[in-house]
C-alpha cells in the first residue's frame, strides 16, 4: 500500500514566476521554537528564508531554541533563577499545609535552600565552561564531553526546582510542564501558567526584545514536533497581546497533522491568524503578498484562515518543483553558537518517500504531492555552494529515506567533485545496495553515519509491515557499510500489530548476532499514528482503536489487537530488551550528531571509549 498524497481538491504546481515579488517588500520574522537539541539549524527556517528573500522580502531568522539554551547555561539566567527562589519557597510554604503534598514539598524546599548564591555562581561558571567544551576541540575528549553533558543536566535540575512541578530537561524531549499536549484546553492553561511555563520568561528575554528591534510585519513559527506547541502557543499569545498588529502564521509537520482539528479549536486559533499546511514556500509567499490587498484568502493554497464567519480551510493545495527552489539560506543564524565544535548543515535532495509502502509510517503527511528529487548536478552544485559560503565540511541529509539510485550517483559525484565532506543520511535496507563497490564509493565520498530503518528482525513481521526486505539483506547491508567505516544507527520498535513475543525475541537475537556491525540503537514501541496505513486499514491489521473526544490534538491513539503483543505487552518487551541488550550499545554520548562528529573526526567506527564498559 502506497501513501496517498492527494490531499486537496486541486494540486497547483509551483510556478517559478510566482517568486517575482509584486507590491511592497515586507519584513518577516521566522521563529524556530523550543524544544529541540541545539546541535544544528532546523532546515525549515533556512528553506523558507531563501525562498522569501528571493522574492524580495526582508527575512529575520530567529532560532529561539538555540538562544534559549545558550541563555539557560549562562550567568544571567541562573541569576534569574536565584531571584525566583524566595517566591517559590513562599508558594511551597502554603502547599505544605496539605498533608498529601507535605513529603514532596519538604524535599523540594530543602533542595531550593541548597541553591545558595555561592552554588549558583559556581554552577554558572561550570555551565559556561561546559558550553566552551561542546564548541571547541575539547569536544573530542569523551570524558570532558561527558562532564559537559552532566553539567547541563545539573543546571536543568536546578532550573526545574524553580518551575516545579514542571520538569525542564536536557535532552529537551523529556521536558514536562504537567499539562497534556494532546488537549487544546490544557495548552491554553499552560500558556497562562507563569509558575511552570518557562517559555514565558524565554519570550520576555529573547523574543520580545527582537520583535521590538526588528518590527516585523509578519511572524512565522515552524512547529516540527507536537512538544513545541507549548512554547509556540505561549509565544503566539504574548505576541498577540503586546504586538496585535503583527500577523502570526504557524506551519510545520505538526500543523499539517492537526489540519482537521485546528479549524474546530477556535480558542487555540485565537492565538494566531493563519496556519499553513504541507509545504510552505509558495503558500507563505502568497499569504504575505495578499496582505493589505483585497485578495480572497480562500484562493491561497495550503492555508487555514479565519474571517468574520469562522475558520476555513482553502481547497487549493500546492507542491513545490524542487528544481526551482533556491538552496537553503542560513544567513542571520548564529552558526557559531550551536552546541557543536564544527558546523553541521542540513540539505534536502528529495521530498516525499520513494518507497512509501511501510504500513506504520505516515511521514508522507507533510506533502501534497508524491516523491520528487533534484537533479544530481544541482545537488552537487548546491552542496558545494553551502560548503564554500558557510565554510562547512559536515552535512546531514535528512531525506525521508535516501533513494538507492540517487545514493549511488551522489557518492560517485562527490568523489568526482572532490568536495571532501563528511555526511550522514537515512537509508532503507535495499538489495540494490548490496555491492562492495557501492560502499567503497560511499567511504571515499565521506559517508560516515547512517540512520537505518531496521524496525524488526522477524521475516514475518517485515512482510506485515510492507518493508519488502529480508533479514539476510539487512545483515549483508550492515556488514558492508560497517566494513567501510560507516556507523550504523539502527532504529526499530516492538508491538507492530500481529507481532508475537517470539517475533520480538527474533529481533533481539538478530541484533545480538550482528552487534559487531550495529553501533548504536534507537528502540521504542509501536504508535498507532493518526494517518498511518495501519489505522486506515484497521480491520485488516486486527486493530481496534479509541478516539477520546477530549483529546482533540492527539496524533496517535490507544488501541487493542486481535493477536500478538498489545501496548502494555510491547512496553514490557522493550523493558526486557533495555535490561538485557548488548552493553556496548550503552554509550556515554547518545546524541546522534555527536556520534557522527566523532566518527568523522577519528575516521573509524571502532570507538570503544564511547562505551560505558569497554568490550
pLDDT means per 10 residues, the chain with 615 residues, are 46 44 80 96 98 97 98 97 95 77 84 96 98 98 97 97 94 89 97 97 98 98 96 98 98 95 94 96 96 94 95 94 95 98 97 89 78 95 98 96 96 97 96 96 98 95 94 97 98 97 97 97 95 94 94 96 96 96 94 97 96 68
Q: What angle do CA 257, 263, 269 make, to 5 degrees?
A: 95
d(CA 473, CA 477): 6
Torsion-angle region of residue 545: left (phi > 0), alpha (psi -120 to 50) or beta? beta
Model pLDDT, residue 3: 44
Query: Can you give the pLDDT at residue 170?
Result: 85
Least Cα distance to 403 among 432, 382, 377, 435 occurs for 432
Number of H helices, E strands in the chain: 22, 20
Contact (CB, 8 A) for 476 and 452 = no
Cβ-based burial of 255 (10 A; exposed 0-12, middle 13-18, buried ≥19): buried
Q: How far is CA 331 from CA 58, 73, 240, 387, 443, in A?
A: 12, 25, 27, 13, 31
Give dist(CA 77, CA 454) in Å, integer. 42
Distance CA(306)–CA(263), nearest Å, equals 9
* 169-598-42-329 Cα dihedral, nearest 10 degrees: 150
Q: What domains can you pick out in the chain, each with its CATH number?
A: 26-65+196-315 (3.40.50.280), 69-180 (no CATH), 342-529+567-610 (3.80.30.20)
**What distances in angstroms separate CA 452 from CA 112, 203, 205, 428, 440, one per listed residue?**
44, 37, 40, 6, 18
> How many other CB atoms are there within 10 angstroms of residue 382's CB atom?
18
Model confidence pLDDT, tens digit, residues 529-561: 999 999 999 999 999 999 999 999 999 999 999
Longest CA–CA span in the chain (Å) reads 73
Dihedral Cα 412, 417, 423, 427, nearest 10 deg = -20
Helices 44-54 & 281-290, crossing angle to 10 degrees? 50
DSSP conformation class of 587: B
What is the pLDDT at residue 99? 60
DSSP 246: S
CB atoms within 10 A of CB 170: 23
Find, among 571, 613, 599, the residue nearest to 140 by Cα: 599
Task: Please give the helix or strand (H or E) that residue 464 lies within, else none.
Answer: helix 459-465
With beta carbons less than 8 A apart as the criterion, state whether 166 and 198 touch: yes
Q: Contact at 8 Å (CB) between 418 and 569?
A: no
What are residue 557's DSSP bridge partners? Answer: 528
Q: Name residue, grid cell 502564521.
A: 249
Query: Is the peptide bond preceding residue 171 cis, with omega within 30 degrees of 0?
Result: yes
pLDDT value at position 7? 53
284-322 residue pLDDT tens:
999 999 998 999 999 999 999 999 999 999 999 999 999
Amino acid at each position: 500500500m502506497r501513501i496517498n498524497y492527494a490531499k486537496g481538491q486541486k494540486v497547483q504546481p509551483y510556478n517559478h514566476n510566482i517568486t517575482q515579488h509584486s507590491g511592497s517588500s515586507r519584513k518577516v520574522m521566522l521563529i524556530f521554537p523550543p524544544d529541540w537539541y541545539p546541535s544544528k539549524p532546523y532546515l525549515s527556517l533556512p528553506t523558507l528564508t531563501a525562498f522569501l528573500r528571493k522574492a524580495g522580502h526582508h527575512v529575520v531568522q530567529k532560532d529561539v531554541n538555540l538562544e534559549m539554551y545558550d541563555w539557560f547555561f549562562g550567568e544571567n539566567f541562573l541569576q534569574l533563577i536565584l531571584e525566583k527562589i524566595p517566591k517559590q519557597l513562599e508558594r511551597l510554604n502554603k502547599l505544605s499545609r496539605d498533608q498529601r503534598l507535605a513529603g514532596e514539598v519538604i524535599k523540594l524546599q530543602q533542595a531550593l535552600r541548597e541553591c545558595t548564591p555561592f552554588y549558583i555562581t559556581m554552577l554558572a561558571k561550570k555551565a559556561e565552561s561546559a558550553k566552551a567544551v561542546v564548541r571547541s576541540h575539547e569536544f573530542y575528549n569523551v570524558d570532558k564531553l561527558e562532564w559537559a553533558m552532566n553539567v547541563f543536566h545539573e543546571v536543568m535540575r536546578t532550573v526545574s526546582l524553580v518551575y516545579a512541578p514542571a520538569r525542564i530537561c536536557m535532552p529537551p524531549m523529556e521536558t514536562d510542564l504537567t499539562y497534556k499536549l494532546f488537549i487544546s484546553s490544557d495548552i491554553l492553561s499552560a500558556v497562562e501558567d507563569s509558575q511552570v511555563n518557562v517559555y514565558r520568561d524565554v519570550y520576555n528575554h529573547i523574543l520580545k526584545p527582537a520583535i521590538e528591534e526588528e518590527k516585523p510585519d509578519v511572524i512565522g513559527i515552524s512547529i516540527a514536533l507536537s512538544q513545541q506547541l507549548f512554547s509556540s502557543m505561549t509565544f503566539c499569545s504574548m505576541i498577540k497581546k503586546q504586538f496585535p498588529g503583527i500577523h502570526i502564521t504557524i506551519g510545520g509537520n505538526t500543523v499539517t497533522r492537526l489540519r482537521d482539528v485546528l479549524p474546530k479549536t477556535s480558542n487555540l486559533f485565537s492565538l494566531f491568524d493563519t496556519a499553513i499546511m504541507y509545504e510552505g514556500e509558495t503558500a507563505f509567499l502568497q499569504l504575505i503578498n495578499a496582505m493589505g490587498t483585497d485578495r480572497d484568502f480562500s484562493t491561497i493554497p495550503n492555508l487555514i484562515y479565519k474571517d468574520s464567519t469562522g475558520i476555513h480551510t482553502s481547497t487549493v493545495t500546492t507542491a513545490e518543483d524542487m528544481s526551482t527552489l533556491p538552496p537553503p539560506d542560513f544567513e542571520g543564524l548564529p552558526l557559531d553558537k550551536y552546541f557543536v565544535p564544527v558546523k553541521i548543515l542540513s540539505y534536502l535532495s528529495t521530498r516525499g518517500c520513494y518507497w512509501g509502502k511501510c504500513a506504520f509510517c505516515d511521514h508522507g503527511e507533510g506533502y501534497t504531492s508524491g516523491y520528487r528529487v533534484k537533479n544530481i548536478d544541482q545537488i552537487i552544485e548546491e552542496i558545494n555552494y553551502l560548503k564554500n559560503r558557510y565554510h562547512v565540511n559536515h552535512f546531514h541529509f535528512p531525506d525521508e529515506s535516501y533513494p538507492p539510485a540517487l545514493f549511488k550517483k551522489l557518492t560517485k559525484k562527490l568523489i568526482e567533485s572532490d568536495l571532501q565532506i563528511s555526511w550522514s543520511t537515512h537509508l532503507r535496507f535495499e538489495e540494490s545496495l548490496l555491492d562492495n563497490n557501492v560502499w567503497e564509493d560511499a567511504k571515499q565520498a565521506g559517508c560516515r553515519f547512517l540512520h537505518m530503518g531496521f524496525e524488526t528482525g522477524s521475516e514475518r513481521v517485515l512482510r506485515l509491515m510492507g518493508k519488502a526486505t529480508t533479514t539476510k539483506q539487512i545483515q549483508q547491508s550492515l556488514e558492508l557499510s560497517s566494513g567501510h567505516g560507516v556507523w550504523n544507527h539502527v532504529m526499530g520498535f516492538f508491538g507492530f500489530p500481529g507481532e508475537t513475543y517470539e517475533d520480538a525475541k527474533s529481533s533481539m537475537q538478530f541484533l545480538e548476532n550482528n552487534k559487531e556491525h550495529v553501533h548504536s540503537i534507537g528502540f521504542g514501541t509501536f504508535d498507532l499514528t493518526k494517518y498511518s496505513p495501519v489505522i486506515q486499514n484497521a480491520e485488516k491489521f486486527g486493530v481496534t482503536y479509541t478516539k477520546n473526544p477530549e483529546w482533540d490534538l492527539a496524533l496517535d491513539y490507544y488501541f487493542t489487537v486481535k493477536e500478538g503483543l498489545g501496548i502494555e505487552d510491547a512496553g514490557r518487551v522493550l523493558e526486557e530488551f533495555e535490561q538485557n541488550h548488548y552493553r556496548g550499545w550503552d554509550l556515554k554520548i547518545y546524541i546522534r550528531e555527536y556520534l557522527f562528529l566523532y566518527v568523522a573526526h577519528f575516521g573509524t567506527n571502532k570507538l570503544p571509549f564511547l562505551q560505558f564498559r569497554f568490550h
